[in-house]
Amino acid sequence: MNIKRAKQEIKNCIEAYLLKNERGEYVLPAVRQRPLFLIGPPGIGKTQIMEQVARECQVGLVSYTITHHTRQSAIGLPFIEKKQYGGREYAVTEYTMSEIVASIYNQIEETGLKEGILFIDEINCVSETLAPTMLQFLQCKTFGNHRIPEGFIIVTAGNPPEYNKSVREFDIATLDRIRRIEVEADFEVWKEYAADMAVHPAVISYLEARKENFYRIESTVSGKQFATPRGWEDLARLMEVYEKLGRKVDREAVVQYIENPGIARDFAAYLELYYKYRTDYQIDVLLSGKVPERVYEKLSRAAFDERLSVVNLILAYLNGRFREAEDRETYLSVLLEELKKFRDGQVPESEQDKGETQKDRENHSQTAGGEKRASELLGFLSEELDRNTGWKKKAGFLDRREEYTLLAVSDRLRFYGSILEKEELTGRNEGFSRVRELFSQERDSYESFCQETLEMLERAFDFLEAAFGDSQEMVIFVTGLTTGKSSVRFLQENECERYYEYNRRLLFENQENSLLEQLDSLSRQFPLQ
């Protein structure tokens, strides 16, 4: 299965394993909660999805690469304990707690999360001395004498033997106690992920035209040569940083990530053309509706790679707008909830208030009615949001975008407070009236941004219709709009009739053509007598 399906399987497993009955007991007891074993080639995202799964399921995550451990760190160090048996004292060997088990308890203490995932990578590459311990771990959910805490699900990963010389085959007794999930590379799934994560459009555009180079591992006389999804994404991130520094990625840099000289050379050559296309076709100008006639003439003579690059440049530009619209909408939603608390007086008691004496409270800045100043209440809301953000970050519940959104809301609450102070609006009611005006201005700005983006999308359809008509390029454009989460969300909230028209017509025609090809193939295989 592909990595997207594997991710969903893990989430389903977590939901099933953590289901409790009316007595608060897990419906599936620990002995029946089989560990998951993801096995597949390197670089396809097996490890990367674990943070996403834990964040989306709101559970803890403790990760280890087992090849970095010795037997002692995995099961603990021995020590002598005196015990009484039958009236006689004996020296008994005990073990300190495993570093891995201790990490689970540490996270529980730090976050308060008593349910989560213990992820062990490269589980089938352990040393000979550690192999029996790993088998015991998979079969009994223990490291040495210490059991994995109830509520933590075991997920493991590894590579098949052809990709790693250190792989140890599991015996039938072990395989009969785990859930084995075979994972393979899938470009279409990765392309969805790449759109959501704003992977550099040059990488997406190149792989769209040369899907065979997305994942390749070859054995040559010079050794292993390979290209993996992990390599492509890491290269894309480097390209983004280099562009901010005013530098370009050359073939020598590419081959450090894409360790296949032929593919690296091909991509480096394409990248030079891509930068040229970006200069020749000013996307912001195209989407302004002022398209020079020479652009249409140039595209009419262009090769498919160039035409595809233009489509992906437009998609990348629009996707940036869609992501910004999504971020701004989320920001406004969170800010609105905080302002409702301000309106209703649902303000948490600050740490300073908890330690105040009666005399301090009497001397504290208050309004004539005995309430705290409106700016101070907004400050308390900001502090509470900061505390919650810090906890969620420590628990792994936030990605960078979500964290930045919460920090932006906290900053805005303090900014509103400073305005109320400056304008000497001390009461909560008058303060809320002013804050509501400020929020409305931000909401209007967001709506204007969405309207501008929708107009750009309409002009993108105008341009693509004039340049390509109902060709394959238009199918790629519409498909690109359909696969990205941010674009789908934008289109759900901002109606674009032409998108739905093309989506129905072009994608239906593709399905119809595919079915006709299949029927034609079947008719050739089984001709009527």
Q: Which helix (H) or strand (E) holds 489?
A: helix 485-493
Q: Block means of pLDDT (10 residues each) for the chain, length 529 residues?
A: 88 90 86 87 84 89 79 78 87 83 88 88 78 79 83 87 73 81 88 86 88 87 85 92 89 90 91 88 84 84 86 90 93 93 73 46 47 82 91 87 93 92 85 91 94 92 86 85 87 87 69 50 51
Per-residue confidence (pLDDT) for residue 403, from 0 to 100: 93
Per-residue confidence (pLDDT) for residue 318, from 0 to 100: 92
Q: Cα separation of 385 and 15, whole Å?
A: 29
Per-residue confidence (pLDDT) for residue 327, from 0 to 100: 93
Per-residue confidence (pLDDT) for residue 385, from 0 to 100: 92
CB 263 within 8 A of CB 203: no
Greatest alpha-carbon pair distance for the chain in Å reads 103
CB 244 within 8 A of CB 175: no
Per-residue confidence (pLDDT) for residue 511, from 0 to 100: 54
SS3 state at 399: coil
CB 235 within 8 A of CB 249: yes
The residue type found at 64 is Y
The dihedral built from the CA positions of residue 229, 489, 11 and 100, taken in this order, carries a sign that is positive
Per-residue confidence (pLDDT) for residue 176, from 0 to 100: 81
Per-residue confidence (pLDDT) for residue 443, from 0 to 100: 95
Q: CA 50 → CA 196, 235, 351, distances in Å?
A: 17, 22, 36
Per-residue confidence (pLDDT) for residue 524, from 0 to 100: 57
CB 192 within 8 A of CB 4: yes
Distant-in-sequence contacts of 214-217, Cβ < 8 A, 24+ apart:
214/185, 214/187, 214/190, 215/41, 215/43, 215/44, 215/185, 215/187, 216/260, 216/263, 217/41, 217/163
Best CA proximity match to 233, nearest among 253, 212, 257: 257
CB 55 within 8 A of CB 16: no
Per-residue confidence (pLDDT) for residue 363, from 0 to 100: 46
